[in-house]
Amino acid sequence: MSTTIGLVSNPLGIIVGFALPGIFVLNESKTEIGNLMLIEAILSTISFILVVFCFRAKPKTPPSSSAEVERVDFRQSLPILLKNKNYLLLLIYFSAGIGTQNTLATIIELIGKPYGFSSAAVSLFAALSITFGLIGDAIASKIVTKMLKFKLFCLIIGCLSIIAFGIFTLTLPIGSIAITAISICLVGFLLMPMLPISYELGCELTFPIGEAMAGGLLNCGGTIFGILEVGIAYLLNNQPIASCIICIIGLLIGTVSIFLVKEDLKRIRQEKQPLNDYNHFEKELNKD
């Protein structure tokens, strides 16, 4: 749950990013765009200052026994991660899911305009997708925290996301704001929970490698996958249906990948081990 709370800051920032242009840029003049950039710069600077002076590297008291385990050195982490087959399969799943989500956010206006949707309607779709995604985050994380069935929920979310994106693709040509809004809400509700659940599973599969390294590599994969999908859509002249099919294929690849993952919850096992019992995981890393 703590991971979910921390990760919602990203989509909340995206919502603000969608809202600010509509508030400050009405006539698309240079002055309005300049004011918008100034406001964004101020907000970014405030965030930077707060992180530099207020953010602590770790709490004074370890929150769990696994937090007391010494983490693998940063330089050693990357080779170990690249040899971990389960983590690499999860990387494909995460990259496909979050990459598709980023792709949709990037080209949603290009997808919507050919069917008569205005810029205001497109902004509404984006905001609804993120809002319902946050709701999905909260619900899925709460359930997974209790059941600890990370792979099962990733698989369910992957399958349902394919169906939801298919519904969005089929209903898009209808040109109805209400129908498209409902389908985009469903897509966001199912896609965004991939983020916290994948992070948690990644940390479990790679323990005792640091969470920052495991999560950071996942983020890199999502960004690269999103760039590839946007690039392919551009080569296809940003045709709406073709772009949606590309996203569906990406989700299908990710779902197959998560099916092949062997769920190994190393960090949770450590919680049941005596404090500072690091030897067991050191041997497992050497095997990987």
- CA–CA separation, 283 and 265 (whole Å): 15
Dihedrals φ, ψ of 83, to 5°?
Answer: -95, -10
User: Is residue 286 pLDDT above 60, yes or no?
Assistant: no
Per-residue three-class SS string for 161-200: HHHHHHHHHHHHHHCCHHHHHHHHHHHHHHHCCHHHHHHH
The per-type count for the chain, helices as H runs and strands as E runs, is 13, 0
Confidence of residue 212 (pLDDT cuts 50, 70, 90): confident
At 185-194, the pLDDT tens digits run 999 898 888 8
Amino acid at 160: L
Average of per-residue pLDDT across 255-269: 87
Mean pLDDT to the nearest integer, 19-39: 78
Tell whether omega for the bond before 208 is within 30 degrees of 0, i.e. cis.
yes
CATH number at residue 13: 1.20.1250.20
Count of domains for the chain: 1
pLDDT of residue 196: 84
Phi and psi at 267, nearest 5°, equal -70, -40
Question: How much of the chain exceeds pLDDT 90, in percent?
Answer: 18
This prediction's pTM: 0.77
Higher pLDDT, 12 or 196: 196
Would you place residue 283 in the very low, low, confident or very high pLDDT band (cuts 50, 70, 90)?
Answer: low
Q: Output the pLDDT for position 2.
A: 58
The region of weakest confidence among 64-78, 121-135, 143-157, 249-263 is 64-78
Q: Which domain holds residue 209?
A: 2-287
Residues 230-234 have a mean pLDDT of 85
Mean pLDDT confidence for 64-84:
72
More confident residue, 49 or 215: 49
**Per-residue tokens: 34:** 């300049």
CB atoms within 10 A of CB 48: 10
Residue pointed to by tokens 């709490």: 59
pLDDT at 259 > cutoff 90: yes
Lowest mean pLDDT among 59-63, 208-212, 238-242, 260-264: 59-63
Residue 88: predicted pLDDT: 93
What b/e sequence results for 186-215 when a residue is b if at least 16 CB atoms lie within 10 Å of its CB, and e otherwise? Answer: bbbbbbbbbbbbbbbbbbbbbbbbbbebbb
